[in-house]
Structure 1
Amino acid sequence: MTEPAHFEHQYLSLLRDVWTHGDERRDRTGVGTRSLFGPTMRFDLSEDRVPLLTTKRVAWKTAAREMLWFLTGDTNIRNLVRQKVHIWTDWPLDRYRRATGEALDRDAFEARISADDDFAAQWGDLGPVYGKQWVDWDTYEPARDGLFRRGPGVNQIATLVEGIRHDPTSRRLLFTGWNVAELDAMALPPCHMTYQFHVAGGRLSGMLWQRSCDLGLGFAFNAFSAALLIRMLAQQCDLMPGELVWSAGDAHVYLNHEHLVTEQLARTPRGEPRLRIGRRPASMFHYRIEDLAIEDYDPHPAISAPVAV
């Protein structure tokens, strides 16, 4: 009997296709990319399976901490840097350097963010990025003076949980971060922007649509985080996990990531990592990093590559 293909081969095939056949184009960052439009992949999440890449080591705890941070609605990097999560620092650091002309390095910038309340408030905020839209989408109500005042925020995640529990066949089991009115105020408009969910046979599946995906760096985090989100939702709604369907608009590789592509494609996937969740907390908003464990993970070494800001 032929062994089933390793889940990672579809990712490696896409990485190869984008690098070999992608349209070479200028991009917002000035680095340049090769890009293909509209790929889709599917990952089985049953029996605790998780799409955690093995052809390079992925800092899965960093990805998990970011997802848990999104669910708090926080938009300031302070709580991230205090957990030694650096993935959002480049954007406010770039803004600080442009505004002040001071060539502060990342470590010094993060130290000031962590220690100085006023500095963190001024320079650490990212604007209304993911978490704000997920759990506190702004609403407005007319006031007596003819103007509008902010109304109660919409918690899309809490609404989603109620929908899955009480109306599991609904075609409206989704949430999005793409708030058109607030895009310009965000450090980075959402890349992983819309999630939709489907219940069948006692299993919860989720589809992530990304408008933009950096296959060299971002995908590894995006796929793992989406799978983690499905697992937490399934647990909260007394369902088993089904599959993650991942789809992108612009799937690209940066031109300065050639070494990453070459090295990763030369490696063979190995093992089948599993994600264990140690307890069922009171709600989606009470998970902790200590609740999560990865087993049977034996990846190849990490591959460093620059982030385009």
Structure 2
Amino acid sequence: MTAAFDAPPVLFTLPDRNARGRFVRLDTVLNDILGAHDYPTAIKHVLAEAITLVALMGSLMKQDGGQLTMQAQTEGGIVELLVVDYRDGELRGHVRFDRNRLAQLGANPSLFALFGKGYLAITFDQSFGKGRYQGIVPLDDVSLAAACESYFCQSEQVPTLIRIAIESDSRGCRSAGYLVQHLAEGEEGRERLHVRLDHPEWEHVAILSATLSHGELLDPAVDGRALLWRLFHEEDEVRASDGTVLTKGCRCNVDHIRDVIGRFPQSEQADMVSDNGMIVVDCAFCSRAFQIAPVAPG
């Protein structure tokens, strides 16, 4: 583990190119989330990619209680459900999958092998009554990152390039993510102009960003600002700042679970009771088991 991997995300803008971006590296937080379940390597890697993507996209939101949720789902796929969400720097995620069918795929199954004809839903829940919006794209690309690029292009008409790198060894799993977008003229409430993939400003930024290698993204000797300097040192101005520190945040708690159980009739609560007289509720995200006594009617 190194300081470079536990640093906050780097937020940056290129004013002369009408572009903004994010760079994240995950180590401790990632392993805290993955370690809650006994995931095979292939599932760990796809969940690590999803967590890194949500960390990138979540950092695009204002830190005011809004939530970003990514959900991948299939009908009859090996991965039955993947859910990751982000709120004010807190990340959580889990995967439900068919372990027996996964074992038949070999060491490095493709995205299609895992999800089949699945889809990816990305939902932004904005706080303070500002609304909720969602985009859905098919999982017909080679990676979750490519599907997210399609989401931004199709649902938000924002040209976007995303690069994700993941590695794992005996010490655990590490990931890095880079996202850059072209913000069109008129972004602030006016008609969106010049949003096209062949815009000269965007072509320049995308070509430079595409040179990022897997090794550069994961190199702990090169922090986020040094990486930006490598890419954009010829630009007149690059503005960079630290984002919200990323943490594991499951948000499950006894009071909320007890409140939910209390909404069930006594007869249904009786059916939930285990041999020790308690109702056991497992959290899918963190694998904690809560033992709750049946709740008397209010």
Q: TM-score, normalised by structure 1?
A: 0.30
* Bigger radius of gyration among the two: 2
Determine which structure has greater relative contact order: mean sequence separation of CA pairs < 8 Å that are 6+ residues apart, divided by chain length.
1
**Larger relative strand fraction:** 2
**Larger relative helix fraction:** 1
